[in-house]
Every structure is written in structure tokens, then in C-alpha cells.
Structure 1
């Protein structure tokens, strides 16, 4: 008899199995929503899918009477701008710090303890300080994302740099490469796909910092809208926004995975 441990589903079976829990959750929600609305048609805790569709249509397809803007898309664009800029800064700074501290022992001995200490500071605890220093504008929100993500990426790239076989560095130096050439032509190409992996892993934290910053001080954005309408218990707005944030996070993750496969096929084929 074949053990369950050795059973591997086909691609189609894996897709069906992956969708099954989601479908079960949808069915359970529909049943619970129908029961609550049947008992109280004005219940706001579990709105029906038709109610959520009407709310989404109102936010996404109907212009605001005061500004003429489509609120849903304005919120989406504002949040994506902040998230992408913060992640770009974090990736750039994290790559630079991780590469230098991982490849240069003097840099590692000097700055590794500082990076470790910074990674232990809860980024959300810095939010009031960022608001005081940078104000309530865009800079503080982007800074929170960058500060929160950079230590993680830096430590990951540092570790990945140290994992590269020392024989490669010795061969490059034997052929006459100087320090800058070793960093740029030997180490950096091997670290770029690992940087994309680190960014993918840190996307969840990036969204967390973004939503927190927008909830506290903002005039637009997905997080701002969710916390604005919660005072009215508008679950028909909150749930579609949460679902949309989840979809955006999934799309960004898949885009980064696609970039990794297209730009660094050797990394994927190597089993990473």
C-alpha cells in the first residue's frame, strides 16, 4: 500500500486542493451571512456578496460628488506608490549593506552588531518619531516601510554573500580582479535573484507597515479607508478592501517571481 507520505498530486490536483479550502471558507461565509441577515436585515457584521458588490461599485465605479475622483482607485494608487517606493529604497540599501558586510570582514565586524540591534527594534514603535521628524506627509510613511524592511534584507543578503564559495573569490583575485571587481562582477550577479527572494518574503511586513502608517495619519490609501469606515461598521467596504489588498500582495509576489524566472533562469533551474 502506498504511503500518504509518498503521494504527490498532479498540477491540476494540486490546484484543486489549493482552491478547496478557499471554497469552503466562501460557502461557510455565505451560510453565516444568510442566517444573520435573515434574523436581522440591517446586520452589518456579515454583509452579503451583493451588498459588498454594491459598495465596491460605489467606491470604484462612481465618481465622488465632491472631488470627481474614483475613491477606490485613488486609494489603490496612493498605497502602491508608498509601498513600491519604500520597498525599492529598502532593497537598494539592504543590498548595499548586505553585500559590503558579507564580503568585507572589516565592514562586517564594524556594522553587523548595529544591523542586528536595528533589526530588533519594532518599526511601529518608531512611527511617532518619524511623524515628529518627517511630518505627517508621504516621507514618514515611506520611511517606515524602508526602515522596517531594510534590516531584514541586509541580514539576508549578508548571509547569502557569506554562503558563496570562497574559491570563487580566490580565483577572481588570482586572475587580477580588485575588490570592486570581485564585488560587482562575481558577487553581485549571484545576489540579485536572492535579493528578489528577500523582497518577496518581506512584502507582508511592508503591507503591515503601510496600513499602520495610513491608518494613523493619511488622507487617502487603502489602510486609511479601512480605518475611516470602521467607525460606521461598514463591513461591506472593509471586506472588499481587505480582499483587494490580498490580491495586490499576491500579484506583486507573482510579478517578482516572474522577474526572477525571466532574468535569472539559472537560479530557478538550480533548485532555488
Structure 2
């Protein structure tokens, strides 16, 4: 039985030899990372410099795009190094840091989406009271609380993982995650399992309950409201729903492939499923909101044209 403090590194068993295609894989992953960085940074700049976009919904979107940068940066540089390396290992400290980044990214993402759904609920169901119910002070408080609480909750997860007695150091994935490390434990994991259930209730079931409640209310207003109300709901809620479904599918894939035996599934598919929620939301969210929300679309177009001139 080996104590985790004595393990200096972890090995990744999911990588395979790509041979001559190693550098091609590196270039593809690098291109995706650059695309994520540029698209999310563009929308952050657009929202920050344009005063007409200094509204609650766009401020929450700005927080969402910052989280996309944070989550992808916690994965892609590490992934690029592993692709070029012949020995796929990571130090224990770097592994725990990545666990913190991955889980805090996921929690912030879902909480951001929940707050955006609440904002849309107020805008559609209480349009006359919206400005008094969703003030700039409340927006700032929501954003600060999302990041602060998530970081504190995930920070206290690490002291529960690090002391675990591990019987191995092989992780059957391409990056570090909490469940893979806990599965290596030979010691009692009751405390961390209970803590994990509490954190899940806070970061998953809480936001999903709020999202379901707000959309039930929005649908009621749409069915009983005017055509203009329905058009407003569709135009502002469609990108949010697309973003929510995209992230939810990725999180579901990650849970399934982590918790269940996937040995019958091809290795490439397993890698894709495990990376989906860390790559597809940061990649597609700027496109979804950039194309669907006219204010962002027009501002982006004007910004690009001005830079070109």
C-alpha cells in the first residue's frame, strides 16, 4: 500500500502511439486552442468596449467566456505537451492542480448558465420590474459569488484527495480528474464520497433545478402572452438552451465514461467523450451567442471592419 504523498507522478494509459501523425495531431489541437482563445477574447473585448452591451445578460456572458478561457487553458497546454511527449506522465502536484481547474471550470460554467436563465426569466416574466430586480450591483454580486464559492468549494476538495493511500498511479484517461484518482485509493474514501455528493448537490442539482423552474415559468408566459413576448423569448433563450444542452451532453458523456466500464468502446471515442465538455462549449459558445444575439453580431462586425480599415 503506497501513500499518495510518496507518489511523485501519475501515468496516462489512454494515450496511444500516433507515429507520423503526432505533429499533425499537435497542429490540430493547437489550432482548436487558438480558435477558442481568439473567439472568446473577441467577445469579451466586444462586450467590454461597447457601452450598449453593458447590460446584465451580456455581463453574465462575459463571465461565461472568461470561464471558457480558464477551462481550456487548464487542458490544452497540458494536452499539447502530452501529444509531443513519448512518456505520458504528470507530476502529482500538477495533476491535483488540473483536477482543481477542471472541476471549478465545470461548476462555474453550470452556475453561469443558471444565472443567465434566471436573468432571462426576470426579463420575460417581469419586464417592467426587470431594471429594479436585476441591478448592476446584483449582477456584480452574482458573478463574484459564482467564482468565489466555486473556488472555495473545490479548494477544500484537495485536502481530501491528497492524503489518500493509493495502490497505483495509472490513470486511464488523457488528463487528471478526481474520480480517476479516487478509484486508485486503497484507503477509506467515505469522507470524500460524502463531500462529493454535497458538492454535486450544490454545483449540479441546484443550478439544474433553477434552470428548470425558470424555463417552466418562461413557457407559461409564452403560451399566454403576445406574439412579441414569444419572439423575445425565442431570440434570447435559444442560444442559452443550445449552450446548456451542449455542456450537459458533454458532462453526461464524461460521467458515463468515468463511472462505467467502457472497455468495449474504441479508445478514440472514449478520448473524445472525455474531452467533449472541456472543448466543445468553449469552441461553440462564442459562435452560438455571436450569431444568435444581434447586438453582439453587429458589434463584432463593426469591430472587425474598423480593425481592417
* TM-score of the aligned structures, taking structure 1 as reference length: 0.30
Q: Which has the higher contact order (CA 8 A, sep 6+)?
A: 2
Where is the strand percentage greater, Structure 1 or Structure 2? 2
* TM-score of the aligned structures, taking structure 2 as reference length: 0.28
Rg (Cα) greater in structure: 1
